[in-house]
Amino acid sequence: MIRVDEKNNVFLLNTENTSYGIAIVDGRYIEHLYYGAKLEETDIRYLLREDEAPFTPSVNKRETGAFLDFAPMEYPEAGMGDYRESALSVRSVKGHRASELCYEGYEITPGKPALEGLPATWGEDSECSTLKIFCRDSLLGMKVTLMYSVFEGVDALTRSVLIENEGEEPFYIEKILSACLDMDDRDFEVISLIGSWARERHIQRMPLGYGRQNIASFKGESSHQEHPFLALVTPETTQSTGEVYAMNFVYSGNFIAQAEKSQFDSVRMSMGIHPEGFTWKLEPGERFTAPEVVMVYSAEGLGKMTRTFHDLYREHLIRSPYLHKKRPILINNWEATYFEFDEKKLLEIAKDAAELGIEMLVMDDGWFGKRNLDDSSLGDWYVNEEKIKGGLHELVENVKKLGLKFGIWIEPEMISPESELYRKHPDWAIQIPGRDITQSRAQYVLDFSRKEVVDGVYEMISDVLKSADISYVKWDMNRQLATLGSYALPADRQGELSHRYVLGVYRMQERLITDFPEILLENCSGGGARFDAGMLYYSPQIWCSDDTDAIERLAIQEGTALVYPVSAMGAHVSVCPNHAVGRVTPFETRGDVALLGTFGYELDITKLSDEEKEQVKVQVEKYHRYNDLIREGDYYRLASVSDNGYYDSWMIVEKDKSRALVFYVQVMARANAKSRFVRLAGLDPEKRYIAGGKTYAGSTLMRAGVRIPSEFGDFKSRLIEIMEA
């Protein structure tokens, strides 16, 4: 619900449990009033401190600079006297870098408009409403629309910005963030997700000091190393207590997320496209839309924040017809064979997989062109019939006869120097004329800012998908962008390349899921380098990490599930010793950890022992028994091995609180250790539940806990099913 208090010039955006307040000052400045637990009244202008020095410019114009450097601005611009981090920086054709937005009016509409060319949350008129605040810089002829959409039942709101050139001259956008939040500091701590290849999205928490702390990527993707999520939390914040202010970027390219503590002990939190190397020329009559930021406030700790993000993304972001369905249990041949396979080996894997209840075979890298190593053929999207004798159609039909569906791996954004496509179209690679193109994994990046490139690659891949009954596509992207240059862009538009590239990726993925709606699309980027909300708009699941070791996955999946639904996490059982870290982990533990996700296998099933094959059958049965609950239920984090060093635990609770599943992993065994009591969460305290064959009140299980025996040996897992009596 969006309320407008015309008398006090206040907007109050209410969800079921939160409020977001905006005020108009001096008839021109748009200032932030409040974000937090729900308020019922709009007469809250006292929060602006308008009766304190330096006062507003209408009272004390001689100190406008001091006012701008302190006022809680809703969308701060560069160049006029606010020396904190700006959200917008514009350069005129005369070279001046300053803008001054003045409030002009507002509009409230039911529902939520789409963002042109961009992924974004969506909702019916009955589920959300949108506030548009219009402002203008008359000197530049620049109209700016601040857009706020409120999801009343999900305790979330989204923000975006639309810039239109209504003047007579072009201007250059050199920085455009999508959201800014100004508020008083309360000894905030910063939570972010950091890592590297094969150890993505580890949770980092640290105090917020004076100055600016940011996480960022200008690699052309959201990246393995840092992630487009940021939260400010009060010091007492746990899973169930404390206040949380969180932002998540619905975007898959360069980003910056920043928190800044000022001289006056105020905090500015902001998020948007990274300004490094970014410039966008806006001609008269043109418009630019900034990607969306999702904002969540929780007064009940990180757990409530997590469940809000999960509900929002399941109900208002992911569009796939597979969203509320069991995904087929797949086996991928990559860690089984790497490039060393042919149709006979694939059929051997398929035959053994079918006998154990696995439902899909996925053929990974190496099936196309002359691809026998990772040094050739990207861009040559036709079947290598020397390797797949009889062609793709015959292979797929033979796999189907065994009772399995068939999936395929592609990497559309890349091109190998050693490829027919590069020899024919060398200018299709991103490059700076006269410089060597930076190689990574012996490949270049295609210029997806160009429509003819996207169309040319798509047609080749489309032909492959039409040639056989393909049920699944794994879309990979194995390197970052560098030596940025496009043959198709003029000199004063080269700064648009990174963003135009991402828009090209979105266009192609939208075309793919439109033309092949029955295909299950899974995104991937060298593992988890592009696990972000933007990608979830196109695919219901994303490969979580190339590290499939169950123990390493505990921290990776904990950090990922902090923001994203567990049904989106690609998780597989792999062979031991693990190919990333060499660890040997019990087969049962590998299966239990992979259940928190899409579930599948990444190994050569033909080489498993009879005992391991029997365990596969057990794991398949567990998947079918529990997946509906895991996919649709509420996620609660009970303990983190990253904090305690010994054990990890989480649980999924049915929405109606009738059923739950507790996961427990004893990571490190301890000598002379007693059993451990783990307090559950999310149950109905008044209901009675069966746990371990006995009946308990929900309040007992949450306050006293369930008893977990200490086991001999490391890396032991246990599942505990909780059923309403």
Dihedral angle sign, alpha carbons of residues 375, 381, 384, 388: positive
* C-beta atoms surrounding 560 within 10 Å: 29
Tokens of 553: 């996955």
Phi-psi region of 81 (alpha: psi -120 to 50; beta: other; left: phi over 0): left
Tokens of 690: 């069966």
Rounded-to-integer distance, Cα 427 and Cα 19, Å: 51
* C-beta atoms surrounding 266 within 10 Å: 16
Rounded-to-integer distance, Cα 377 and Cα 418, Å: 6
Rounded-to-integer distance, Cα 488 and Cα 449, Å: 8
Check if the beta carbon of residue 447 is closer than 8 Å to that of residue 486.
yes
Check if the beta carbon of residue 547 is closer than 8 Å to that of residue 581.
yes
Which of 546, 592, 634, 648 is catalytic? The answer is 546
Nearest CA among 662, 673, 660 for reference residue 638: 662
β 2-5/688-691 pair status: unpaired
* C-beta atoms surrounding 125 within 10 Å: 10
Polymer length of the chain: 725
Q: Which residues pair with 361 in a beta bridge?
A: 331, 406
Tokens of 711: 């086991």
Active site residue 476: yes
* C-beta atoms surrounding 194 within 10 Å: 17
* C-beta atoms surrounding 584 within 10 Å: 10
β 716-724/706-708 pair status: unpaired
Phi and psi at residue 514, to the nearest 5°: -80, -45
Nearest CA among 103, 136, 139, 81 for reference residue 11: 103
Residue given tokens 């395929």 in the structure block: 408
* C-beta atoms surrounding 621 within 10 Å: 11
Nearest CA among 178, 164, 139, 159 for reference residue 13: 159
Active site residue 546: yes
Q: Return all residues near 359 (Cβ < 8 A) that are at least 6 apart.
A: 328, 329, 330, 403, 404, 405
C-alpha to C-alpha distances, 456 to 166, 338, 446, 451, 466, nearest whole angstrom: 35, 28, 11, 8, 16
Residue given tokens 């899409």 in the structure block: 598
Q: What is the 3-state secondary structure (H, E, C) of 47-80?
A: HHCCCCCCCCCCCCHHHHHHHHCCCCECCCECCC
Give kind and range of the element (H or E) at residue 499. Answer: helix 497-515
Which of 476, 547, 549, 592 is catalytic? The answer is 476
* C-beta atoms surrounding 688 within 10 Å: 14
Q: Return all residues near 77 (Cβ < 8 A) that are at least 6 apart.
A: 86, 87, 88, 89, 90, 98, 99, 100, 101
How is residue 586 annotated by DSSP? -
Tokens of 590: 């590998």
Phi and psi at residue 145, to the nearest 5°: -115, 120
Dihedral angle sign, alpha carbons of residues 706, 712, 714, 715: negative
Nearest CA among 310, 195, 353, 359 for reference residue 596: 310
Rounded to whole angstroms, the maximal C-alpha distance in the chain is 83
As annotated, the active-site residues are: 476, 546
